[in-house]
Amino acid sequence: MVDFDKLKTKKTKSRDIEPTEIFRRLPKPSGINDLYTSQAEVLQAWFKRRQERDVVLKLHTGGGKTLVGLLMAQSTLNETREPVLYLAPTVQLVNQTLEKAKALGISAVPYERGQPLNDDFVNGNAIMVGTYKALFNGRSKFGLRGGVQPQQISAVILDDAHAAFSVVRESFTLDVRSNKNRPRYESLTDLFRKAFKELNKLGTFDDIVSGAEYSVLEVPYWAWHEQIDAAREQLKSDGEEYALVWPLLRDRLHLCHALISRDAFTLTPILPLVNAFPTFVDAPRRIYMSATIADDSEIVRTFDADPQSAQNPLTSRSLAGVSERMILIPDFMPFKLKLEAQEAIKKLMVWTTNQNLGVVVLVSSDKAAAQWSEAATIAQGSQGVERRVAELQARTMVSPVVFVNRYDGIDLPGNSCRLLIMSGLPAGTSNYELFRASALFGGATITRMLAQRIEQGIGRGARGSGDHCVVLLAGSNLAGWVSKDTNFRFFTGATRAQLEMGAQISRAIKDSGDLIQTIQQSFGRDKDWVKYHAETLAELVDEEVPDKLRFNQAAMERKAVNLWHDGYHEQALAKIEKFLTDSETLDPQIRGWMAQLAARIANQWGHSDRSEDLQRQAYAHNRNLLTPKVLPPYRPLLPPGAQAKAIAEQFGHYRFRRGLLQSFEDVAIHLHRNASANQFEEALAKLAVMIGLSSERHDDNGKGPDVLWLLPNKVGFVIEVKSRKKAEKALTKEEHGQLLVAAEWFAENYKDYQCVRVCVHPGNYATKAAMAGTTYALTYEKLAALVSDARSLFSSLCESQLSGVALETECDRQLTQSSLKFDQLMDNYLVPFEEQD
């Protein structure tokens, strides 16, 4: 028998460095005959730019990024003969990369916990593949700045960089879990009880710490800076428990957010402190491989990449890798009852699995997953996810599988997932993600993040050209969100095209039977559907244009934090303030966020007056941020215009008209006694806007109302919310006193308005001491009637084909005949309080 390996070692190996030539010489595993045009294009473009320190490479989901990454790694290894590191977000993706390398004959070794770095990697003979956390941790074998000699490398390949932002942040995040170390959690949170009392948020703080409230509070940075030493003393005694994080934060606590939730006291840096790792920072080549869905400015913000390089990613105009997806939206289908659509989905899941085709459900939380427990298997934990993915791929898993918050990092090609159900709008799960979403609510940053997460989820079910999948976007909040024009534009061209097709198809589906027949056209490879998809995709996909403002903001934010870290406070402040002055089109949420960062830096520097001025500016732009110690002047709401016009104009904001009805349902779902106070008040404010009024949540330091409604006839509903009270409890003197204070505030700020005092209350009884005879109750029963009347109005207008002036006229006609006309609201939905016997 001939020993081919021996013959191979005797032969002098030529070290090709051109990646496409390397591929030509490699053995080809089953299923890979040649490179996609898109792969060849980006490899050739990278080879010309390979000496650039930072290069961003973008391919469609399923477009073969792993193969491209391995070829670039091998090219660098051949050229430099120095170590090359390949990072992926999860262990599962690490294993897939190693399997791909083995199939291609590329030398690759895994990062192994508890073992020294592999000699073949250190000597430049093999690529090392590991997770991001293998490099980014407080005991990194690659070395920390100021520690032992760090491991030098010639290149680092960052696979799925768009999925790595939260993974990298986790490496720098310390969570003191309330269920694991309750005494430490309570002692840390108690350091800031006084600060929240001064902000008039003591009730919220106590509810969160006791576990009754799910929201996340940021510790005011001025209180955090005052208590850093006390917090450090407590945490260092638990240093071993947080051994992988504490070394990264202990000297940089001033650069951190301190967050409090019912689950944890969390410390996480403003931006990940990647500069602590010389292996990464000093690498001559840093290659960020990303799907086309990514917000590339996050690469600058997270990894301190060169913004100019990130603005010029390597891409291909080819549609290779764009899978065929039939995206259907059940809420757009003319089913008579929502329940009918839900039951249809469950029947569809059974029907699909009976054909031995994989069914996957993506949800954002364990609570959401529980709703599918009777119809599907829930994947539990990282190992459980890996096992279920393998079973789906091998087709040994028959039942549908639910994955929680796994919008990226799992690959389900072919029959492993022919039906993908995304249930509800994706949401963050970490304290930081929830905090940032709340702080930037309503701004483009969070909209872009949600669009990216939706696209990531859609991309789980079909992986590359020739693959196909049916995607159901289930849930009114998700249907309403994708319908809105301001959100729709943040999707990539391919997804916009597939959503356009899906909306048209969804509207044409009449019943459950029709839905199954339509899906079978995808499963059965109906030639008309395949042709329609291919032609429409090619027509609608357009080139993405980078948003320079986002890159400028990311670069400025990263530079300012770096300057602050190095002790250059004045330069950091000057950079932020110049950016805010020069960027006139910046959305107010981000403008406030950046001003608050400047205020934080000034406070830590000891310039309290400057900090307080900056915080007032921040709060004036973004009321979701920290309340300053001295409030800026209140800006009264603009008076509402014509009610019918305001309602009709909302339809113009939706690409798919039924999306407005679904947005309404997403508001209505929170108007019940079990909703949190935050959810209820936010929904009540949104309801007013949807029916053509002006509205806001106010209640600053106890002075204003929970919710304010302004009507076109110079009437203001000053509303206090007591929605979670038990039905038998009457309105008390103290509760009514809060409403009277809010009414005084209203009189000061809206001098030409009539004030109507309203309390959302289970019933309309008050104690004698309350003296609430001229105050009105909005009871659950009356609120339900208002919601029902509004639903009827929106349903009717949605079904009409009218637009513009004609739609406004029709809306005015229907308002006149309904109870929702602004001058009828008080008589139809408000009930005077009566004295309890």
Q: CA 292, CA 488: separation in Å to the nearest integer?
A: 16
pLDDT of the residue at 335:
66
Label residue 124 left, alpha or beta by phi (over 0 means left) and psi (-120 to 50 means alpha): left
pLDDT of the residue at 14:
56
Q: CA 304, CA 271: separation in Å to the nearest integer?
A: 10
What is 643-835's CATH topology?
Restriction Endonuclease (3.40.91)
718 pLDDT higher than 50 = yes
pLDDT of the residue at 460:
85
Q: Which of 540, 784, 790 is nearest to 650 (CA)?
A: 790
77 pLDDT higher than 80 = yes
pTM: 0.83
52 pLDDT higher than 80 = yes
Which helix (H) or strand (E) segment holds residue 609: the answer is helix 608-621
Q: What is the mean pLDDT of the chain?
A: 89
Single-letter amino acid, residue 806: A
The whole-number average pLDDT for the span 426-448 is: 83
Give 63's pLDDT tier (boundaries 50, 70, 90): low
613 pLDDT higher than 80 = yes
Strand 108-110 to strand 715-721: parallel, antiparallel, or no bridges (unpaired)? unpaired
pLDDT of the residue at 10:
46
Single-letter amino acid, residue 743: A
Give 554's pLDDT tier (boundaries 50, 70, 90): very high
Minimum mean pLDDT among 68-77, 479-488, 537-546: which range?
537-546
Minimum mean pLDDT among 136-140, 396-400, 477-481, 537-541: which range?
537-541
Chosen CATH of 324-508 out of 3.40.50.300, 3.30.565.10, 3.40.50.2300, 3.30.465.10? 3.40.50.300
pLDDT of the residue at 65:
86
Structure tokens at 790: 């509004």
In the block, tokens 């190992």 appear at 383
Q: How many residues does this entry show for the chain?
A: 837
Give 97's pLDDT tier (boundaries 50, 70, 90): very high
Structure tokens at 162: 């768009």
Task: Return the CATH number of the domain spanning residue range 16-169+277-310.
Answer: 3.40.50.300
Tens of pLDDT, residues 344-353: 788 899 999 9
pLDDT of the residue at 727:
63
- Please tell me which residue, 694 or 440, carries the higher pLDDT value: 694
Helix 677-690, helix 780-799: angle, nearest 10? 40
Tens of pLDDT, residues 498-525: 999 999 999 888 888 888 899 999 999 9
Query: What number of H helices and E strands is found in the chain?
Result: 37, 24
pLDDT of the residue at 527:
93
Backbone angles phi and psi of 250, in degrees to 5 = -55, -30
190 pLDDT higher than 90 = yes
pLDDT of the residue at 1:
66
Q: 3-class DSSP state for residue 288?
A: strand
Asked whether the domain spanning 324-508 has the same topology as the one spanning 16-169+277-310, the reply is yes
Cβ atoms of 144 and 277 within 8 Å: the answer is yes
Tens of pLDDT, residues 620-644: 899 889 989 887 788 899 999 999 9
> Domain extents for the chain?
16-169+277-310, 175-271, 324-508, 548-621, 643-835
12 pLDDT higher than 60 = no
Give 43's pLDDT tier (boundaries 50, 70, 90): very high
The whole-number average pLDDT for the span 652-660 is: 86
Chosen CATH of 548-621 out of 1.10.287, 3.40.1350, 1.25.40, 3.40.50? 1.25.40
Which helix (H) or strand (E) segment holds residue 328: the answer is strand 324-328
Tens of pLDDT, residues 538-548: 776 666 666 78
pLDDT of the residue at 337:
46
Can you spell out the DSSP letters for 129-198? Answer: EEEHHHHSSTT-TT--TTSSPPPP-SEEEETTHHHHHHHHHHHT-EEEETTT-HHHHHHHHHTTHHHHHH
pLDDT of the residue at 368:
87
Q: CA 325, CA 322: separation in Å to the nearest integer?
A: 9
Q: CA 2, CA 320: separation in Å to the nearest integer?
A: 41
Cβ atoms of 17 and 44 within 8 Å: the answer is no
Q: Give the N- to C-terminal CA distance of the chain in Å, as an integer.
A: 103
127 pLDDT higher than 80 = yes
pLDDT of the residue at 501:
92
Tens of pLDDT, residues 214-233: 889 999 999 999 999 999 99
- Please tell me which residue, 208 or 1, carries the higher pLDDT value: 208
